[in-house]
Structure 1
Amino acid sequence: MIQWNSLMVFFLTVFVVSSLARGVLKGLNIRHLRRHGHEIPEEFRGEIDGETLAKISRYTLDSHRFGTVESLFDDAVTLAVFLGGLLPWLIDRLPVWEEHFLLTGLLFFGLLGLASGLIGLPFDLYRTFVIEKRHGFSTITLRLWLIDLLKGIAVSSVLMGLLLSAFLTLLRFAPHSWWFWTWLVFASFQLLMIWLYPIVIAPLFNKYEPIRDEGLKEAIIALMAKVGLKTEGVYQMDAGKRSRHTNAYFTGLGKTKRIVLFDTLIASHTAEEIAAVLAHEIGHWKRRHILKQLFFMEAVSLIVLWIVSQLVAWPLLYETFGFSRPIPFVGLLLSAALFGPLTILITPIVSATQRRFEWEADKYVSVLTGTTTPLMSALKRMARDNLANLHPHPLYAGFYYSHPPLTERIARLQEFECKKVS
């Protein structure tokens, strides 16, 4: 039975305040859009019209409303699980942890993951087949959606099963140092996935083939060669069979990269614009942004795991949520529930750092190609094609935007070009 003590009060206070903060930020963003959504920003004059702005407003409002409903439902389910005694009830029906540590841990997390996935299915269906289709983005069929779902379950079950098995084994046989070895295993796994994902996992879901435009391919290879990068290949991905959204990325460790362009991007952008987008990605590599982010995440992970290692032996943590005795892997989940909502405090700091990285990568486009004009053109086209919100509330953007708001981004690029001329 749960205990209504100071720790429970702390949990509920942090949870409610975090949820309210997220709700207030969404509300501010919606109100700001309703007030200014009809205004064409100076940077987009001649690029979009009133009809496009109306589409942007409808898409953003639909997405926000649906996201709010989903968040409220998730919060209600979370409270029901942690306050309703469902976790102790589940543990009581599983084999004893000390005797069957792998089986018990895998069943515990597996059943919770299955329940979470089933609860999320209706929301994913509605988002994909109602909201995204209503606004002209989703092109996926129900059959393909189901195939993706089954493949995703299979892949995640294998990968998470292996990671959880390693974690549970360390927890059982290295009770005082498991946090360090777990961090080492997970960090190694992340590095492995950087190499493995594009060549093994991604092709399970999408078709990759060499791009057909030889001129574009040669331009990309020449661009990469300017900074001493080699290409494992330049591929186009059949993103259009799922969505009309556009994107491009490159992956790979070291100086050999695999370039991937969405077929939707190739169809809607000029070769100059695509080269500018890739020059921006090269800027991230050249300025070591990926490496810095990786080091930051690993440092935070190490600190968090050490803190959790102190909490999993705390009897009050288990008593508060209705457990009769400490169970280390359950303590991991309880610690996440207790302190997870506090991540909202560092969210704006992380977002601000990411936006600074984006600006540095934008400027590097000029270093590599001599101009940012094609990048500005690409950003405007992406904004129009993806119905990006051109009027986010500054506070909302400050918290959640990993990229500068598009009007601000283009204005800074225009100012940057003017300074170059003068």
Structure 2
Amino acid sequence: MVREPTDREAMAKEYDAIHNRLFLLQILVLGLLLAVYQFSGASAALANGLAWRFGENMWWATNAVYTLVSVFGFAAFMSPFGFYGDYVLEQHYGLSNETVGDWLFDFFKSLVIDLVIATILFSVIYAFLRWFPELWWLSASAFYILFAVVLSTIAPVVIMPLFHKFVPLEEGDLSIAVNRMMREAGIEVVGVFKWGLEGKTTTANAAFAGFGKTKRIVLGDTLLSGYSQEEILAILAHEVGHYKNRDSLRLMLTGSLLATAGFYIAHYCLLALTGFFDIPHIYDIGAAPVFIFCLFVFSLVSMPIANLHSRRREFAADAYAVATMGSPDALVSAFEKLADQNLSNKEPARWVELLLHSHPSMARRIERARQN
């Protein structure tokens, strides 16, 4: 007999379906915006106007200002999707504790961060396009990988505190158990921190954050307040499994290979399409929509490959957690609670999982955990 889904499970499926449709719509709108920006001549007009203003010798200023203006413009066009997906839907399904003002403040902080990151990336990449027109893609790949490592390192001390409060976990049985687990696993961390989520969301989460000397454990206060110590330790053991299996390095290697392939393919797309659009040089920032579109399409095509690798690493980390805890019970119990609390669709359509999900479905993770 097929079990009827609970109201909460039915709601999770509905919530997931809406997000999938919203994701597809955003892809279509973003592609259309890039096309309009390029074909209308607006991109070339902005680039030429800035080049006239700053002069040929200050091309770096032209590139930086062009990036700032363009990213801000695209963010303005796409912001209704963000507001609907990150605020309206979260409020409707009881997952958000934010006010509109809170959401707007976080949105503008995110926008400033995006502007800074995009300006650095495009300024450097377009410098490589100018200096090394044949091999820029190799230099760009190396810089992109290094930049990602730097961001991962500074995120818990510079970026994450802009959105959430982090305080050291209080001394007690849990902190003793966590530190014991770290010692037994041979992991050195800066500390264990309580992650202030409940002011903004009802969802629960935990993670290793940082890289090298900034590496730390963060446990959401929504997790600490609603889960048993064994369940919290099982979730943490999963994160330890990622560390012991060197998943950060594995995923970084996969991401590096895909990034290099993406820039390599973008190189030949730029050579072909700049000729089609009668753009004299591939380093002309006016062709940025073409460049972004090439990378955008490649990221969509390669997403299932990256997600496949990620899902396998999640299964491996789950297996480590079961072995560490000596039983799947605590991990399974935690998964059941997380699926309910975070409104996760436990059994999405298989094709959706294969194409879009970096984590296996909760149903498959629970089944696999019980088999370990």
Same fold? TM cut 0.5: yes
1:317 aligned residue (258, 273, 292): 273
Tell me what 2:160 maps to: 202
- CA displacement, residues 166-203 of structure 1 (integer Å, 9 cap, x when unaligned): 33433334444433333333222222222211112211
Is 1:403–2:368 an aligned residue pair? no
Tell me what 2:42 maps to: 86
Q: Tell me if structure 2 keeps the 8 A contact 1:283–1:360.
A: yes
Is 1:378–2:343 an aligned residue pair? no
SS class of match (1:261): strand
Q: Tell me if structure 2 keeps the 8 A contact 1:101–1:172.
A: no
Please show how residues 12-411 of structure 1 align to structure 2 within 5 Å.
39-40=4-5, 50-96=6-52, 98-212=56-170, 214-254=172-212, 257-312=215-270, 314=271, 316-321=272-277, 323-330=278-285, 331=287, 333-338=289-294, 340-411=296-367
* CA pair 161-324 structure 1, distance change in 2 beyond 3 A: closer
Query: How far apart, in 1, do the equivalents of 2:258 and 2:13 lie?
Result: 37
Query: How far apart, in 2, do the equivalents of 1:337 and 1:163 lie?
Result: 16
SS class of match (1:232): coil
1:303 alignment partner AA: A
Count of aligned pairs between the two proteins: 368
- In terms of Rg, which structure is larger? 1
Is 1:412–2:368 an aligned residue pair? yes
TM-score (structure 1 length as normaliser)? 0.79
2:281 alignment partner AA: P
Q: Which has the higher contact order (CA 8 A, sep 6+)?
A: 1
Tell me what 1:28 maps to: none
* CA pair 304-329 structure 1, distance change in 2 beyond 3 A: farther
Q: Tell me if structure 2 keeps the 8 A contact 1:221–1:230.
A: no
Query: How far apart, in 2, do the equivalents of 1:191 and 1:342 lie?
Result: 22
Tell me what 1:20 maps to: none
Query: How far apart, in 2, do the equivalents of 1:91 and 1:252 lie?
Result: 37
Query: How far apart, in 2, do the equivalents of 1:329 and 1:276 lie?
Result: 52
* CA pair 57-176 structure 1, distance change in 2 beyond 3 A: closer
Which structure 1 residue ranges, 5 or more long, are not aligned?
A: 1-35, 41-49, 417-422
* CA pair 329-381 structure 1, distance change in 2 beyond 3 A: farther
Which structure 2 residue ranges, 5 or more long, are not aligned?
A: none
* CA pair 356-232 structure 1, distance change in 2 beyond 3 A: same
- CA displacement, residues 293-339 of structure 1 (integer Å, 9 cap, x when unaligned): 11121223233334434554x3x422423x44224154554144246
SS class of match (1:268): coil
SS class of match (1:259): strand
Identity %: 27
User: Structure 1 residue 213: deviation in Å?
Assistant: 5.6
TM-score (structure 2 length as normaliser)? 0.89
* CA pair 344-177 structure 1, distance change in 2 beyond 3 A: closer
Query: How far apart, in 2, do the equivalents of 1:324 and 1:71 lie?
Result: 26
* CA pair 224-133 structure 1, distance change in 2 beyond 3 A: same
SS class of match (2:74): helix
User: Structure 1 residue 84: deviation in Å?
Assistant: 3.2
* CA pair 149-351 structure 1, distance change in 2 beyond 3 A: closer
193-202 vs 301-310, greater mean Cα deviation: 301-310
SS class of match (2:211): coil
User: Structure 1 residue 68: deviation in Å?
Assistant: 4.4
User: Structure 1 residue 143: deviation in Å?
Assistant: 2.2
Tell me what 1:25 maps to: none
Query: How far apart, in 2, do the equivalents of 1:304 and 1:75 lie?
Result: 17
1:39 alignment partner AA: E
* CA pair 64-297 structure 1, distance change in 2 beyond 3 A: closer
